[in-house]
């Protein structure tokens, strides 16, 4: 089914508005129903545009049919809310033209083709192949240049390479992408590579971001690996029997600064996983008699609504931008 029949929009207009308004559209990953419900509830409540996204691995875990129908249900809720918030359905970290095509078939309005591990020319070739067929259906395409370290969907990359700003114009021109994910120091997952206990990532490379902005005026940039991983939830996990170490997130003031510049889409996945785990652990250990899953998934969903709403209001500044 084409995404317009469901009610989704592609990211074009969303990003134009975000660029002009100095904010970023949240791109929240989902891997289960409660998470998706929380994303939709928070974005309706804060009147924020939203990109709901599922990765290739999430589609495998949840099941292609469930992702498709859950996303349709989410759109139905958005519609009936009367909030008028624009909502895109995005394939995160698509790794092949086939994966992107299957997403488009399922109603995705935007796809990422991640060729960032490939040599420059191969990355361009792969990205262009996807852009060519996606654009025929008015689906927007995100490419990536530069590599992020960390664990993404169980795949570990131990090295990171900052995006070379000198290459961005050629990449965008030759591949035909609509937005570009760049590497300026963010990292995927919970255990950011090379972190010592209690350590912090080096600050994001705003000099690189500014140079990219100068070379690609008005062009939407995407940040992956942007979870903040609040100490409050790391401590809660560890206090209730978990063992998380070497956790270091991206300070929210740096994400706020990037969102005010040319970054129009910010990807957040791990913050939600951490929050869910912390709340579930707390409920189960405070009340060992609990067996009804709603008794712990419900409170986790409430905590997620608060997390997403706060990100929209205080970090990405997407609240009220309908």
Catalytic pick from 92, 106, 114, 271? 92
Look up 92 and say whether it is catalytic. yes
How far apart CA 229 and CA 113 sit, in angstroms, is 26
How far apart CA 148 and CA 155 sit, in angstroms, is 12
**Of Zn ion, ligand G3H, none, which one does residue 265 interact with (CB within 5 to 8 Å by kind)?**
none
Q: How near is the Cβ of 59 to ligand G3H at its closest, in Å? A: 13
CA-based nearest residue to 44, from 101, 13, 17, 84: 84
Q: How near is the Cβ of 155 to Zn ion at its closest, in Å? A: 10
The angle subtended at Cα 269 by Cα 195 and Cα 118, nearest 5°, is 75
**Of ligand G3H, Zn ion, none, which one does residue 227 interact with (CB within 5 to 8 Å by kind)?**
ligand G3H
Is 92 a binding residue for ligand G3H by CB under 6 A? The answer is: yes
- How many CB atoms are closer than 10 A to CB 154? 7
How far apart CA 191 and CA 248 sit, in angstroms, is 7
Exactly one of 14, 24, 26, 29 binds ligand G3H (CB under 6 A); which one?
Answer: 29
Q: Report the half-sphere exposure of 23 (CA within 13 A, side-chain side).
A: 21
Is 267 a binding residue for ligand G3H by CB under 6 A? The answer is: yes
Q: How near is the Cβ of 271 to ligand G3H at its closest, in Å? A: 6
Give me the residues paired with residue 88 across strands: 51
CA 127 to mean position of chain CA atoms: 19
Between β-strands 155-157 and 150-152, what pairing exists: parallel, antiparallel or unpaired?
A: antiparallel
**Of Zn ion, ligand G3H, none, which one does residue 189 interact with (CB within 5 to 8 Å by kind)?**
ligand G3H
Query: What is the chain's alpha carbon radius of gyration, rounded to the nearest angstrom?
Result: 19
- Phi, psi angle pair for 309, to nearest 5°: -65, -40
Is 184 a binding residue for ligand G3H by CB under 6 A? The answer is: no
Residue closer to ligand G3H, measured from CB, 83 or 96: 96
CA-based nearest residue to 66, from 90, 23, 42, 33: 33
Q: How near is the Cβ of 93 to ligand G3H at its closest, in Å? A: 6
How far apart CA 151 and CA 157 sit, in angstroms, is 6
Is 40 a binding residue for ligand G3H by CB under 6 A? The answer is: no
Residue closer to ligand G3H, measured from CB, 246 or 290: 246
Binding residues for Zn ion (CB under 5 A): 224
Is 269 a binding residue for ligand G3H by CB under 6 A? The answer is: yes
Q: How far is the CA of 202 from the CAs of 144, 149, 185, 251, 270, in angstroms?
A: 21, 13, 7, 10, 19
CA-based nearest residue to 185, from 92, 251, 103, 281: 251
Which residues in 188-207 contact ligand G3H (CB under 6 A)?
188-189
Residue closer to ligand G3H, measured from CB, 188 or 301: 188
Which residues in 200-259 contact ligand G3H (CB under 6 A)?
224-227
Q: How near is the Cβ of 150 to ligand G3H at its closest, in Å? A: 7
Residue closer to ligand G3H, measured from CB, 155 or 322: 155
Q: How near is the Cβ of 93 to Zn ion at its closest, in Å? A: 6
Residues marked as catalytic: 92
Residues that bind ligand G3H (CB under 6 A): 29, 92-93, 188-189, 224-227, 267-271
């Amino acid at each position: 089914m084409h995404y317009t029949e469901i009610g989704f929009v592609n990211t074009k207009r969303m990003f134009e508005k975000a660029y002009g308004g100095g904010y970023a559209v949240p791109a929240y990953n989902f891997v289960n129903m409660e998470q998706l419900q929380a994303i939709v509830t928070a974005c309706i409540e804060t009147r924020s545009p939203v990109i709901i996204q599922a990765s290739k691995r999430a589609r495998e875990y949840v099941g292609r049919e469930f992702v498709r129908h859950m996303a349709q249900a989410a759109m139905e809720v958005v519609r009936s809310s009367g909030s008028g918030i624009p909502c895109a359905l995005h394939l995160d970290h698509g790794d092949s033209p086939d994966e992107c095509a299957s997403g488009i078939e399922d109603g995705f309005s935007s796809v990422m083709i991640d060729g960032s591990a490939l040599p420059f020319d191969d990355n361009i070739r792969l990205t262009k192949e996807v852009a060519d067929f996606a654009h025929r259906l008015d689906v927007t395409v995100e490419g990536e240049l530069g590599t992020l370290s960390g664990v993404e969907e169980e795949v570990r990359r131990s090295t990171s390479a900052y995006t070379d700003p000198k290459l961005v114009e050629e990449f965008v021109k030759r591949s035909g992408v609509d937005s570009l994910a760049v590497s300026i120091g963010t990292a995927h997952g919970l255990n950011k590579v090379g972190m010592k206990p209690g350590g912090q990532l080096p600050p994001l490379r705003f000099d690189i971001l500014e140079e990219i902005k100068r070379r690609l005026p008005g062009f939407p940039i995407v940040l992956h690996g942007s979870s903040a991983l609040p100490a409050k939830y790391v401590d809660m996990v560890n206090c209730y029997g978990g063992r998380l170490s070497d956790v270091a997130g991206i300070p929210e003031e740096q994400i706020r600064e990037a969102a005010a510049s040319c970054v129009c889409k910010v990807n957040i996945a791990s913050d939600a996983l951490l929050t869910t785990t912390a709340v579930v652990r707390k409920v189960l250990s405070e009340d060992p008699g609990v067996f009804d899953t709603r008794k712990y998934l419900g409170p986790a969903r409430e905590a997620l609504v608060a997390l997403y709403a706060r990100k929209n209001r205080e970090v990405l500044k997407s609240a009220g931008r309908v």
